Amino acid sequence: MYRRGPLAATVLALAREAGAHTVTWCARYDAASLAQDREVQAVLEEAGFSVAIVHDAPAVAPEQTAALRTDGDGRGYRAFAPYAAVWALVPRVPVAESRVPFVAHALRSDALPPSSQSPGEGEPCDETQALARFDRYLAGPVLDYRSARVVPADGPTARVSAALSFGVLSARTLLQRVAERARDPFLLSEERLALAAFVRALAQRDFFLQLAWFFEETPDATLQPRMRDFFFAADHPALAAWRAGATGYPLVDAGIRELRATGWMHPRVRLVAASFCCFDLGVDWRVGRDAWDDALVEDDGALASGNWQWVAGVGADLAQFPRIYNPHKQARALDPRGTYVRRWIPELAHVSDADLFGATPPDARTQVPLPLYADAAYPARVVEHDVEARAFLARYARFRAPARG
């Protein structure tokens, strides 16, 4: 059923139409949605309804990991390693035992939005289809997960982010399916490591959700208070080029173009492209986050803020120095044959491997002339990575120097 209207008033009207006594929904984790949930809860309870908000997005609810914490003030974890250790200890409730039965109800439904506005366009929005696709992934491709999540041309990743974001699939369901797969006695040790890496990725997703739950101010305020005065620019002359995938750095540009074309970007390439925004251009992580929000199929503000803060070095797991990715070294390591880059940058289809990631930027002079791309030469580099990275690190060191004194 689909219904448009102001959230609190619409939910209240539906509860009355259905003759309900209790209204329950899945908790959301970004600050704006948390505020909305509290508003809806207040309206419903004032009208005499009971309200139960449940944690269905994560595999492990934030309170469960916080309850096992032996230090701190009962809030969440700011570092992933201790969180992951506790996360693994939380007992798993079988999904079948926690399912809620639904009954048919003849409530009026508004017309569904056009398909172009539906979440995950081009992705299965039906649970049966999504589960079938994930089971096919578990049957074979998942065993290459450790390389596929790092090497963009090395096979598929799970591609479940949109289904998880919109509630088509449950993280607990995926975790249970992976556990069943891991019970196969004929799995090789390398294959078990791949399954463990996938489970760790689910734990990392839960980690960022619990950060947003316990540290509600962090969507726009950095998690680390000591980094809140560090200056990032709101703009840069090359920001538009970064948004368009025209920076002159092939791996960065291929990732941006993949995002614009499909609504998704390979996870490792996301790190390189986000690092370029924050460190090569010195642009605020919130600007990059918001730029991608318009294009990404998955719609999860809590995960977006958590990941962007981590990349920018102002969020969880604060290191001594930021993790600055060299886009050329990453390209040579992750896409040495240029398979991924050439897929998304047709201007470079006929550039040799040596020229593609060499010291000299690839441009029209290194390509075989083709009429189709006569006016589409690959752009020159908008900045020099080595120069910008050194300048950023020097500024960062000066900022952090007083804290070490």
pLDDT given for residue 365 in this prediction? 42
Domain range holding 30? 1-54
pLDDT band at residue 208, thresholds of 50, 70 and 90?
very high
pLDDT band at residue 110, thresholds of 50, 70 and 90?
confident
Burial 174-185 (b: 16+ CB within 10 A, else e): bbbbbeebeeee
Q: Do 266 and 342 share a structural domain? A: yes
Asked whether the predicted pLDDT for residue 118 surpasses 60, the reply is no
Distance, CA of 175 to CA of 204 (rounded, Å):
13
pLDDT band at residue 96, thresholds of 50, 70 and 90?
low
In CATH, what number is assigned to the domain containing residue 92?
A: 1.25.40.80
Count of domains forming the chain: 3
Distance, CA of 110 to CA of 289 (rounded, Å):
32
pLDDT given for residue 84 in this prediction? 95
In CATH, what number is assigned to the domain containing residue 399?
A: 1.10.579.10
Distance, CA of 266 to CA of 47 (rounded, Å):
46
Q: 389 and 326 in contact (C-beta within 8 Å)?
A: yes
Q: Distances from the Cα of 355 to the Cαs of 248, 255, 358, in angstroms?
A: 13, 19, 5
pLDDT over 70, % of the chain: 89
Listed range (163-172, 234-243, 272-281) with the worst mean pLDDT: 163-172
Q: Do 73 and 49 share a structural domain? A: no
Q: Do 346 and 205 share a structural domain? A: no
pLDDT over 90, % of the chain: 66
Residue 108 lies in a domain: no
Closest by CA position to 347, among listed 260, 228, 245, 234: 245
Look up tokens 């990275």; give the residue. 389
Alpha helices in 267-338 (DSSP H): 267-275, 285-293, 301-312, 327-334
Asked whether the predicted pLDDT for residue 234 surpasses 60, the reply is yes
- DSSP conformational letter for 278: I
Q: Do 266 and 179 share a structural domain? A: no
Mean pLDDT of all residues in 49-58: 93
Listed range (52-66, 121-135, 162-176, 390-404) with the worst mean pLDDT: 121-135
> In one letter, which amino acid is 340?
Y
Q: Do 243 and 354 share a structural domain? A: yes
Q: Do 397 and 351 share a structural domain? A: yes
Q: Do 285 and 313 share a structural domain? A: yes
Listed range (75-89, 154-168, 260-274, 351-365) with the worst mean pLDDT: 351-365
Mean pLDDT of all residues in 287-307: 92
Residue 388 lies in a domain: yes
Instruction: Please state whether 72 falls in left (phi above 0), alpha (psi between -120 and 50) or beta.
Output: left
Q: Do 369 and 344 share a structural domain? A: yes
Residue 311 lies in a domain: yes
Mean pLDDT of all residues in 237-253: 97
